[in-house]
Amino acid sequence: MPHSQLLAYLSLFVGLAGLYLFTLSPTVTTAYGGADGGELATAVALGGVAHPPGYPTYLLLGRVALLLPGGEVAGRLAALNALCLALAASVLAATIVQLPTAAAPGPRLLAASVAALSFGLDRRIWEQALIVEVYAAATLFLALLLWLTARWWRWHAPQTLAAAGLVLGLGLGIQLPLAAWLVGAVAVWGADRRRTWRGAATRSDTGWIKTMGPFVALLLLGLSVYALLPWRGRAVPQASWGDWRTLDGALDHITAREYTYLADIVPWNVRLSRVSYALRDLVGGLGWLGSGLALAGVLGAGAALRRWGWLLGGIAGATLLWATSYGGADGAVYLLPLHLIGAFYAGVGALLALAWLERHAPGRWRWTLVVPLALVVLALLQAPSISLRDITADRDRALAWLQAAPPAGTITTQADADTFPLWYAQKVLGVRPDVTIIDTRLCDRRWYRVRCR
């Protein structure tokens, strides 16, 4: 790898990580869809299991994040999100550099930087970098899959495809909708078969079983991370969600059976309105500059990026279907893959613009360095409205409720935004362990009644 590329990737990572860490939430917060943060932080800190499907890979990453210096447990887990998304931006830049294009190294690296900044300074992405949640880590794994895909299509090294299997398996231990990458991969495979049937020249598929074998093997190895959940659940039942004493209880949790009713309860007219919202959310996140470049990238991608169109189209379609069909309160956070795809095409659009400029005004492309600078300036202007740097209201409210409770008293709750900060304040910060916290929504579950004893 040329030193200029390595320096660019490192600069992007350090710059975005610094921005995220400066605006980071220091503790649990319900802002930006982070209501689950208190429960996730409690599960990580005590070695338990989070709500379905359990998020085993995230729990392991969380334990590593606790090694970071200073701050509360929740603050260090929020820092994990910041580092994941800063790294995802750099990985996206590395992916753009590998695209099949005749652009010179300088314009190629500039376009990659535009893609990374369009992604990293996207408001939706920035928000997720500041809180305790699983979506930032899942987005990093998707970015890694795109990077490995680019390397596989460019060099066809078997170990690259095998690595993609491992990344996908582990990624599914963070967020099951990451399986959207498989939908895109199948779309590419189908498009390639169609071209073969029409007589187009394609690479021979001889030995495809030999090629796919390591991919499947490492995919299963990555998925084996779910085997950690029964052990954690039985070891620390007082900090674990679900019944881990039986196989049925474990399967119910891992398959998220108690949430399946949410997957198809949204009326079709609401789903259509959510599609419109997803588009507005993407445009609002990328801004007018990033959105314009992304549109140019989609329209001008051409045959050289045909397979990317099928892959990203499949991912976007599956993601949009899930996000618009999911009946939970946090459906909008499932749109993060669309923002990654939008930033990818912003990089493609920048590549096309720089190639045109190089053809018509050789050497003048350097003037376009103002584009990433403009992205940074525009982002810094909105930093005060995004920052959670001094926001501790949710933790402070939970502490106040616990301190106000009578000795051996009971606090009854009916919402994640109330229950999970209380769990965190009591079990992680160690405040008022004599108080019983009861979430009435969970009282019909036997495992929860046992936990409350």
What is the number of other CB atoms lying within 10 angstroms of the CB of residue 237? 18
Between the alpha carbon of residue 256 and those of residues 114, 135, 261, the distances in Å are 38, 17, 10
159 plus 247 within the same structural domain: yes
- 219 domain-assigned: yes
In this prediction, residues 165-186 reach a mean pLDDT of 97
- The answer to whether position 134 is within a domain reads yes
Please give the span between the terminal C-alpha atoms of the chain, in angstroms, as a whole number: 58
Residues 447 and 379 in one domain: no
Asked whether residue 297 is assigned to any structural domain, the reply reads: yes
Same domain, 359 and 412: no
Q: Supply φ then ψ for residue 430, to 5 degrees.
A: 80, 25
* Number of folded domains that form the chain: 2
In a domain, 389, yes or no: no
Residues 429 and 366 in one domain: no
pLDDT tens across 190-211, in order? 998 877 665 544 454 556 667 8
Q: Is the pTM of this model over 0.85?
A: yes
| One domain, residues 334 and 439 | no
Examine residue 232 and state whether it is found in any structural domain, yes or no.
yes
Task: Kindly indicate the confidence band of residue 261, based on its pLDDT and cuts at 50, 70 and 90.
Answer: low
What is the Rg, in whole angstroms, of the alpha carbon atoms belonging to the chain? 23
Give me the pLDDT at residue 356, please. Answer: 81
Q: Are residues 216 and 182 in the same domain?
A: yes
In this structure, are 377 and 411 located in the same domain? Answer: no
Mean residue pLDDT of the chain comes to 91
CB 82 within 8 Å of CB 20: yes
Q: Are residues 351 and 411 in the same domain?
A: no
288 & 431 share domain: no
388 found inside a domain: no
% of the chain exceeding 90 in pLDDT: 73
Q: Which of the four pLDDT bands, split at 50, 70 and 90, describes residue 447?
A: confident
Q: How confident is the model at residue 4 (pLDDT cuts 50, 70, 90)?
A: confident
Domain that holds residue 55: 3-383
Place of tokens 């309160």: 329
Q: Minimum mean pLDDT among 176-185, 221-230, 244-253, 372-381: which range?
A: 372-381
Residue 317 lies in a domain: yes
Question: Do 52 and 260 meet the contact criterion of CB atoms below 8 Å apart?
Answer: no
112-152 tens-digit pLDDT:
999 999 999 999 999 999 999 999 999 999 999 999 999 99
Same domain? 348 vs 415? no
Among residues 323, 353, 383, the one where a domain terminates is: 383
Residue at 377 is within a domain: yes
Domain boundary (340, 360, 383) is at 383
Chain CA centroid to CA 3, Å: 29
Tell me which residue of 33, 54, 35 sits closest to 43, measured CA to CA: 54
Whether residue 135 is found in the same domain as residue 204: yes
- Pick the last residue of a domain from 383, 413, 437: 383
Of 364 and 193, the structure prediction assigns the larger pLDDT to 193
Give the whole-angstrom CA distance, residue 181 versus residue 148: 12
**Would you state the torsion angle of the CA atoms of residues 371, 376, 378, 382, taken in this order, to the nearest 10 degrees?**
160
- Contact between 256 and 53 under an 8 Å Cβ cutoff? The reply is yes
352 shares a domain with 227: yes
